[in-house]
Chains A and B, each alone.
Chain A
Amino acid sequence: MLMPQPGEIKSRIEAAIPGARAEVEDWTGGGDHFRATVTAKAFSGLSRIEQHRLVYQVFGDEIGGPIHALSLSTQSE
């Protein structure tokens, strides 16, 4: 994954977290700082830290690598 695209990040989040809906934007236009808003039933009962961890886990080592930053806002349904 050399230059991640917002649409690719969105579909990977939605595929990995059941029932998730994600909106992803390229924050700087540089292809490495992204901002995502994720809503999912799977978040219910989880703390904010745990909700963000679920999303970060989708990308593993790519966070801090090709994806320099993924800013998150999460909500349970």
Chain B
Amino acid sequence: MSEQTSEVREAIEKAIADNEVILFMKGTPNAPACGFSARTAGALQSLGAKFAAVDVLPDARIRSELSALSQWPTIPQLFVRGELVGGCDIVTEMYASGELAQLLGVEQEDGALEEPALGNGVLEIENRL
């Protein structure tokens, strides 16, 4: 492992240790760059949970080091108190069952999440009209 790579790894480890709830995602909670990241951030936001978010897109090393560390191949990844909770599927399941609210120690109001928008497989259109 090069010195630079281990620097990225250490920064990720520190971020996970320092933030009780941290989401690694594509884009940001307000401007997500992928339907799965949007849905996962949306679950946390709709619970009113406080969370830190890291955009993995600006530097490819973040994603590769994170996946090596967590042994989880995809983005997003949610960590709570230092433990990997899961990606979009698991977080969505836990949101629906109320387990996510319980894990985060927040109250849940009724309401379903929208299905992630995946485009039509040919064009990924972000409609800002």
Interface of A with B (CB < 8 Å)? 27-33, 48-49, 52-53, 56, 63-64, 69-73
Residues of B within 8 Å of A48, CB to CB, are 86, 90, 93
DSSP majority for the B interface? loop
Contact check, B122 vs A30: say whether CB atoms are below 8 A apart.
yes
Q: Report the separation of the CA atoms of residues A42 and B93 in the bound assembly, to the nearest whole angstrom.
A: 21
With beta carbons under 8 angstroms apart, the residue of A31, A49, A70 that contacts B86 is A49
Contact check, B118 vs A27: say whether CB atoms are below 8 A apart.
yes
Tell me how many residue pairs across A and B have CB atoms closer than 8 Å: 44
B71 at the interface (CB under 8 A from A): yes
User: Chain B interface residue count: which class?
Assistant: 10 to 19
Instruction: Type the 1/0 row for B47-88, where 1 means its CB is closer than 8 Å to any CB of A.
Output: 000000000000000000000000111100000000011111
B119 at the interface (CB under 8 A from A): yes
